[in-house]
Amino acid sequence: MNFKFGDRILFFGDSITDCHRDRHRADCLGRGYALMASARLQQLYPDLQLEFINRGISGDRTSDLLRRLQTDCLDLEPDQVILFVGINDCTNYFYHQQLAVEEAVEEFKDNYRNILCPILDSGASLSLMEPFVLPYPSDRYQWRTFLNPMNQSIRQLAREYKLTYVPLDGHLNALGIAGDFNRYTQGDGVHPTPLGHLEIADQLLRYIR
């Protein structure tokens, strides 16, 4: 990802991106990785006058991002889009399981592709953030029935469209194995602690730079 003067950078995703942002303030970046990454990029590129927008909404799945793709992404005319979605597709499968896992993953992949293509057609650059889950509580191991093939489908799309891919699942699990999973998520294996958000921001910066 090459940054240019005045680039508008959009964070587009679910609750991990949302992170308690004030939706009445267009410039509010929330309290998580989007805020941390934007601060670091401004520090690294002070002369570029980069602009940052957060359009994460808690609970969103790929189908929700598709519904608001025009208003919350394309109409904002971003130069760079950071896409972070998938964990709610995973939890929806785990709790409802209306389809076989292969069908559910294929539906996810179709939705994800239908998000990617209009963004790329608009001329924006795109980076894909890998969904993750830590094994705390222990039933999160069962989520991997969907999470693993879901992430593989995102990797395939990243390769197909030659996009930046930010691996998070293995990175955060490795940190948890070496230390304590509770340091990185808030007891549900999904929502990051401040330290978890910092690790996500660091990984994002590592790959987009």
Is pLDDT above 80 for 1? no
Is pLDDT above 90 for 121? yes
- pLDDT, tens digit, for every residue of 25-40? 989 999 999 999 999 9
- pLDDT, tens digit, for every residue of 77-91? 999 999 999 999 999
Please give the backbone phi and psi of residue 18, each rounded to the nearest 5 degrees, phi first. Answer: -55, -60
Residue 209's pLDDT is 82
Is pLDDT above 90 for 132? yes
Residue 4's pLDDT is 92
Is pLDDT above 90 for 99? no
Q: What is the mean pLDDT of residues 85-108?
A: 92
Residue 139's pLDDT is 87
Do 18 and 56 contact (CB within 8 A), yes or no? yes
The H-assigned helical ranges of 57-100 are 62-67, 69-72, 87-96
Residue type, 114: N
> Could you tell me the strand order of the sheet in which 80-84 lies?
51-56, 8-13, 80-84, 125-129, 164-166
Residue 165's pLDDT is 98
Residue 94's pLDDT is 87
Q: What is the mean pLDDT of residues 152-167?
A: 98
Is pLDDT above 80 for 98? no
Number of H helices, E strands in the chain: 9, 5
User: pLDDT tier at 120 (50, 70, 90 boundaries)?
Assistant: very high
Quote the pTM value: 0.96
Q: What is the mean pLDDT of residues 186-198?
A: 96
Q: Which domains does the chain have, with CATH numbers?
A: 8-208 (3.40.50.1110)
Q: What is the mean pLDDT of residues 6-22?
A: 97
Using a pLDDT cut of 70, give the percent of the chain over it: 100
Q: What is the mean pLDDT of residues 7-16?
A: 98
Residue 2's pLDDT is 81
Residue 136's pLDDT is 83
* 98's tokens: 């209306």
Residue 96's pLDDT is 84
